[in-house]
Chain A
């Protein structure tokens, strides 16, 4: 390493800072609650060939591979020699961008000394693209709204007005969509300006040396982390609730000398409803889960991502093909970490956590259309709650905490200010964490009703109602999720459209995480603290943990 490699490192740090700045600016300007609550955006910088050099670490892992792949696809589609300063390309094609129509991806060539030296890209979740809206009820992609194939959105700084009109004309939230697209444009432009300014500051004319340094360093570090792992192939099967019948997901994980291969052969075919997952999105969550354990300190870029390869037969539910409906692709996408951890745990039994609630328990509520006309309140909110994470080999799971996503839970006071609902309870569910040497995280119980005695519509797309999070190595399963109207009401299925009638209380219980190791090996002090805190009841302590008194 010479002084110049210190400079390369400084420039690398600068690129990471620039993408984080871009990401923060996008979040602040966004209109979509899912962006605000979950940071469902990304920003990245790419070299001339389209190799990703830096990407913002945002709230949801769903953009990790998708952006890297999308840029390569778009770059191949539009010849570089035709690109002019101020051009920006766009698409929301789920199979190119990020798995469903709501995610818009923009790509901008960066000019420095009159030629293209790289690209900036950013992506954000738009509020509404028409169709049936964001829910699992669509039967194909055409039901789900407007698809924009790769196209030029901005030409030499001039926005294509017709294209913008089309996006607005096909949305229930045209103003918000326009605001979000302008924020994306500003984000690309700011990134391009900063990249070019950095090159001037450091006196470089192209990104070649920097790009090679970032990618080689990251690749070497990731391969070194893989080299330390045991080699072989491991298999796992995970059954999930599905839309109306259980779905089996299968994975095999091969750890080779310098790469990992995950293959989903054997996974069930697509569902008729919009819970199917394009492979780019399944790959994002799969790779995220693996990188939490293998080389997490190396930033995401073409070098650190290359050793992770994900394959699946076309048409299986983790490699949905157009025109399959995919609006709620995150519901199953968020289950893929548990699927691959089931493989990895066999190779690394002391490192990989037990299964958790995994899928976020979002609760989109709006006024029923019938009452909307005369109602005092016209509202739509998307509340987010989480269950418990799986117990770790040396630590308990985290109660009511998002994993693998990074969403923020909703606050009761702001929810009640934004929507005519009254939340009667939001407390941890005792005994919902899977028993074990280390206990799974607890789920929570939310009770909610209308505060103005009017019907509320509810759209469910969650998991783990029929199939609880499994414990590992003797640990017990976590409690299943359970959703019903009134204490004595029948359990609702995990997906579909329901109504909370005036006077009814929705009881929304999120799942607990699985336990790790045999419960009888749990440290008695820790069990005592659980009983003191009420996380474990005295009765469960006796039955599940064999406590004496």
Chain B
């Protein structure tokens, strides 16, 4: 689908900034733009960014061969509750799936918590007679006699979208389909989401939530997607628009409009795709992707060159970073740990006299104290300013003058005065706490996934990632770091390397002993047909890649392990292979297999993807060229625990092969890379910055 001389344009609309990147296959990145997001009409900033990069590169709209778009609009609509008025229809006897949920408080010691708001009020929750069982057999036929009256009630209640989630619809969707048809007869314009289409997995609470979330944003997203298509077509765009999904693939506007819930968190997914791409380019198969922005830090794992995927995600958490305080949605997502640690995260002292950082953030408005835009609470960026890591005169290409004394005063007032510390020690305390929090999150995430983080290459980007990378790495025991080109717009760059893809997960319970190969083959071939159709719409000519997985565990356990299947039809020897593969992976994760236990499979996954843009051939590695800086500034050295003179380099001036030791700062328009004293920096043939611990570099 892509040839190397084609122009590819990516636009990532984030909460604060809209990032635009234009590349071609020969020269790589031709132009980038960072424009403030226009929240009231997000397409305005997108159009501005696109126009700017096209002008810079001197090409016309009709020359753009691929246009990839990601947006936080879906996420924000869910967080800000700007969606449609939704009603639910569930099986009779199960009106309260939503309110009963998991019967759990998300915070053990908090007795005054409220349950998350899950969008649909009980007065908009309806039920219908009819029942399937877990095997997908009809226990009682659906009773559609009340649909006329129900439609009348929906009209009276001014319902705009309906989420239908009937028990065991993942195993047999006939009742959901019959109900949709009957409702559409009464209300032809009603927006309806069916649970078996949105998320065909067992567990009624998760599936209902996912269906509600989809229905809730469907009218809004359908309108937005139609609008951008019209607008860019009018500007002269001739290629189709592809949308970025949370799963790290692209999809057509048609699929995006039908399943808009898959568009949430597409921006962060772009970052992980970038990391996976670089992993492939550099041959580092196991990577920790570290994306630190203004409000949060996002960590994800790349395993065998592929981003680690998850099947579950939570939107709009009440207590922002506490698991279980939000609305679960079951969609394929690139698994990511997000913690409230960004440049704008505010530092305070708690009742125990401990320094805490975030999750409150000063964001971009008012921003850190040192930005002089009205911020009064000290932030992580203020600590970095006070420690000398940010050059006051060169920050943001000199468009923003940094007020270092103001940062220092705020740290001394808010932190130092309570703990008897000066500004410098307060700043050190703030960064130590935030770096430790990120390192803990990285380790925890790796442990939960059965991995060891310390062996990995860290790829760091985002506005603050390159600044904190060495400090995080040291705490996580990581010895190698890579900073890609244009790290400030990493997510948008990542979009350009995504394949067109679609993933389906379906529940079909069986033990390995009782596995019926025909039933599984028929299930998988249905999934294959559906996924192929969706992917072909966006990639008509590309070679397609298929991946099949089974989610397996020992009977009695609660945690499933993903095992890859051979893409061919399953037969008796395939079942033996599955047993072997499961036991090997179990042993790897838990140290020991459990002989004699029954193995069961709950869910089956299939993903189809087009061929991602080809890798360009790596230029030969440059010879090391030890250089020294022409300018320097004093920075806090957290190894010597004293101030040290650090060389200051302009990234644009650095050439492949250039090598130097920390402490040093590498400055570029959207960020600064801090090379700490224990690291050595070098520039590779693709102009990535590598930082390696000097211990490692010497060996």
Contact = CB atoms under 8 A, between A and B. Distances in A.
Given A399-B100, A414-B203, A533-B121, A6 B112 contact: no
A21 B447 contact: yes
A409 B206 CA distance: 13
A411 B205 CA distance: 7
Contact of A416 (B133, B443, B448): B133
A30 B594 contact: no
B300 to A, nearest CB: 18
A297 interface: yes
The number of chain B residues touching the other chain, given as a range, is 35 or more
Nearest to A194: B443
Given A25-B447, A61-B108, A175-B595, A408 B103 contact: yes
Nearest to B597: A175
Interface string A11-39: 00110010011001101111111011100
Given A296-B110, A411-B203, A13 B100 contact: no
B203 A10 contact: no
A285 interface: no
Contact of B350 (A175, A297, A534): A297
A412 B556 CA distance: 17
B167 interface: yes
B355 interface: yes
Interface string A105-135: 0000000000000000000000100000000
A36 B554 CA distance: 13
A203 to B, nearest CB: 12
B352 A221 contact: yes
A13 B641 CA distance: 21
A176 interface: yes
A31 to B, nearest CB: 4
B509 A428 contact: no
A543 to B, nearest CB: 22
Interface in B95-127: 95-97, 99-105, 108-115, 121-123
B111 A416 contact: no
Given A33-B556, A175-B595, A3 B115 contact: no
B276 interface: no
Interface of B is mostly: loop
B594 A179 contact: yes
Contacts of A178: 594
Nearest to B114: A395
The number of chain A residues touching the other chain, given as a range, is 35 or more
A13 B111 contact: no
Contacts of A28: 448, 557-559, 590
Contact of A426 (B100, B102, B641): B100
B594 A175 contact: yes
Interface string B182-211: 000000000000000000001111000000
A59 B641 CA distance: 41
A199 B251 CA distance: 49
A97 interface: no
A427 B95 contact: yes
B596 interface: yes
B454 to A, nearest CB: 9
B619 interface: no
The listed residue with most B CB atoms (<10 A of its CB), out of A17, A36, A183, is A17
B39 interface: no
A428 B591 contact: no
Given A1-B353, A413-B202, A13 B104 contact: no
Contacts of B612: none
A340 B446 CA distance: 41
B444 interface: yes
A473 interface: no
Contact of A10 (B432, B477, B596): B432
Contacts of A27: 558-559
Interface string B428-447: 11001100110010011001
A451 interface: yes
B99 A399 contact: yes
A422 B131 CA distance: 10
B395 to A, nearest CB: 26
A33 B557 CA distance: 7
Nearest to B448: A24
B168 interface: yes
Contacts of A32: 556
A293 interface: yes
The listed residue with most A CB atoms (<10 A of its CB), out of B109, B205, B425, B429, is B109
B419 A411 contact: no
Given A1-B419, A13-B440, A413 B167 contact: yes
A184 to B, nearest CB: 12
Contact of B590 (A29, A403, A409): A29
Contact of B437 (A6, A13, A175): A13
Interface of B: 93-97, 99-105, 108-115, 121-123, 133-134, 139, 167-168, 170, 202-205, 350-355, 419-421, 425, 428-429, 432-433, 436-437, 440, 443-444, 447-448, 475, 477, 509, 554, 556-559, 590-592, 594-597, 641
Given A29-B557, A402-B103, 12 more contacts: A3-B641, A6-B429, A13-B436, A21-B443, A21-B448, A30-B557, A297-B350, A385-B103, A409-B101, A411-B205, A532-B123, A533-B122
Q: Which 7 A-B pairs have the closest CB atoms?
A: A36-B558, A409-B103, A425-B93, A17-B440, A533-B122, A296-B109, A28-B559
7 contacts: A3-B641, A24-B448, A29-B590, A385-B103, A395-B114, A408-B104, A411-B204
